[in-house]
Amino acid sequence: MSRVKVAVLGATGSVGQRFIQLLDNHPYFEVTHLCASENSAGKTYGDVMKSRWKISSDIPAYAKNIVITTPDPSKTSGAALAFSGLDASIAGEVESAYANAGIHIISNSKNHRMDPKVPLLSAEVNASHLEVLDSQTTKGKIITNSNCTIMGVTITLKPLFDRFGIESVMLFSMQAISGAGYPGVPSMDILGNVVPHIGGEEEKAEIEPLKCLGRVENGKIVHADFPISAHCNRVPVFDGHTVCVSVKFKQKPSREEVLSAWKNFSGEPQSLALPSAPNPAILYREEEDRPQPRLDLNTGNGMTTVVGRLRPDPILDWKYVVLSHNTIRGAAGAALLNAELLYKKNFLG
C-alpha cells in the first residue's frame, strides 16, 4: 500500500510537535498539511517554530518548509487522515467538520471521547471497539485516545480484568507538568510543590477506563461496571505520569498470577508488528524503588507501560505503581498507534 497523506491539527502545540517528530519517515503516513491558528497561518513551520520547538531532537526536515494553514478541511485537500492535537475549546467543531468532509480523525482531545459511537481506543486494549465506526453516519470517522493519566493504568488493568474480574479501583496520580501543555504550570506554583487539583482530571480518570474496558452492544460501547476513585495531583516532573493503583478483584489472584498476566499481555499491535507497537507492552521492574520517570520513561521509545512495586493491599487486594510517557504513550504515540491499526486493518481505504 502507498503511504496515506495526513494532516496534523494543532501542529505548533506540545502534542502537535510530538506528532511531527513521530511521523518523520513513517512507513505508513506522509505528512502533507500542518494546521494551527491564524497567527501562524501563511508562514512556514520552520519559521514559526524557531523559538517554540520544545522537543530535544531537531525539527524534522520534512516539516520545516510546509506552509501552515488554519484547521479547515477545505485547506487540507488530499489528506485522508488528520491527527488532532487541538485544544478542547475548538476541537469538537473542527473534528466534526473533518469527519463530515470525509477525512478520518485520530483525536487526542476530550470532546468526542464519551460518544458511545466513538471508540476511546487504546490499541492493545480494545481494538474490537473499531466495529462501532459503522454506526457513525459521517463518511470520515472519529477515533479518540484516552486521557494521558489513565492510558498506562488501563493497559495494566486489561489483562487483570479479563482474567480475574475487577470489583473496584483506587488510583493516585502524580502528573508531569508537560501534561498541562506549553507553557504549562507557572514555576512559582509548581517548583518545590505539589498541586492537589487538576481541573476535570479526576472525572476523566474515573470514567474513561470503564469505556476502554467496556463491550460493544448494538453498535454502541457499554461501559465496564466497577467503580474507580481517583486523586489527581500535579508534581514538579517534566515528563512522565506516575500512578499508584489499588485493585479489588472478583477472584483474587496470587502475586505470580498478576505478574504472569502482565508478562504475557499483548494485543493486535504486537501481533501485527505495527511500527509503533511496544514489545513488551507492559514491563515489570523488580527493583523496590522503580519505576521512576528519570530512569524508565523512554522504555520502548516511550511506548511501553512500566510497572513496579506489586504488593498486598490491606484494604483492597493488590497495589502497584504505573509509569507512562504522557506526551508519547499518553498522547501522540497512542494516537499514531491507533492510526497504524486502522491502516493495517484497511479502515483507511
Helix (H/G/I), strand (E/B), else coil: 297: coil
Are 264 and 291 contained in the same domain? yes
Are 90 and 187 contained in the same domain? no
Question: Which residue among the candidates 35, 148, 212, 232 is catalytic per the annotation?
Answer: 148
Domain of residue 271: give its range: 148-324
Over residues 103-133, the pLDDT tens digits come to: 999 999 999 999 999 999 999 999 999 999 9
Q: How far is the C-alpha of 141 from the C-alpha of 94, rounded, in Å?
A: 13
Residue 1: per-residue pLDDT: 61
Grid cell in block for residue 174: 502524580
Q: Judge whether 327 is annotated as a binding position.
A: yes
Q: Is 244 in the active site?
A: no
Are 246 and 303 contained in the same domain? yes
Q: Counting every residue, how long is the chain?
A: 349
Are 16 and 138 contained in the same domain? yes
Q: Please tell me the number of Cα atoms within 13 Å of 329 on its side-chain side.
A: 31
Residue type, 226: F
Could you tell me which residues come within 8 angstroms of residue 269 by beta carbon, excluding any fewer than 6 positions away?
123, 124, 276, 277, 281, 337, 340, 341
Q: How far is the C-alpha of 258 from the C-alpha of 28, rounded, in Å?
A: 35
Q: Is 231 in the active site?
A: no
Grid cell in block for residue 87: 485544544
Ranges of residues in the chain whose predicted pLDDT is under 50:
none
Q: Judge whether 175 is annotated as a binding position.
A: yes
Contact 64, 53 (CB under 8 A): no
Contact 70, 46 (CB under 8 A): no
Q: Which residues of 164-190 are buried (b: 16+ CB within 10 A; e: fewer)?
A: bebbebbbbbbbbbbbbeeebbeeeeb
Are 58 and 153 contained in the same domain? no
The CATH number linked to 341 is 3.40.50.720
DSSP state string for 120-136: B--TTT-GGGGGGGGG-
Residue 258: per-residue pLDDT: 98
**Domain count within the chain:** 2
CA separation, residue 307 to residues 28, 38, 75, 284 (Å): 30, 42, 43, 5
Are 122 and 67 contained in the same domain? yes
Q: How far is the C-alpha of 172 from the C-alpha of 241, rounded, in Å?
A: 11
Could you tell me which residues come within 8 angstroms of residue 148 by beta carbon, excluding any fewer than 6 positions away?
179, 241, 324, 326, 327, 329, 330, 331
Grid cell in block for residue 269: 499491535
Q: How far is the C-alpha of 117 from the C-alpha of 336, rounded, in Å?
A: 20
Are 122 and 197 contained in the same domain? no
CA separation, residue 133 to residues 104, 119, 120, 142 (Å): 11, 8, 11, 8
For 4, phi then psi, to 5°, come to -85, 135
Q: Judge whether 179 is annotated as a binding position.
A: yes
The CATH number linked to 256 is 3.30.360.10
Q: Which residues of 80-109 are buried (b: 16+ CB within 10 A; e: fewer)?
A: bbbbbbbeeeebbebbbbbbebebbbbbbb
Q: How far is the C-alpha of 304 from the C-alpha of 267, rounded, in Å?
A: 13
Question: Which residue among the candidates 33, 129, 241, 325 is catalytic per the annotation?
Answer: 241
Could you tell me which residues come within 8 angstroms of residue 259 by beta carbon, excluding any fewer than 6 positions away?
284, 310
Q: Judge whether 113 is annotated as a binding position.
A: yes
Are 263 and 137 contained in the same domain? no
Grid cell in block for residue 158: 486489561
Are 230 and 204 contained in the same domain? yes
Are 166 and 315 contained in the same domain? yes
Q: Judge whether 94 is annotated as a binding position.
A: no
Are 258 and 336 contained in the same domain? no
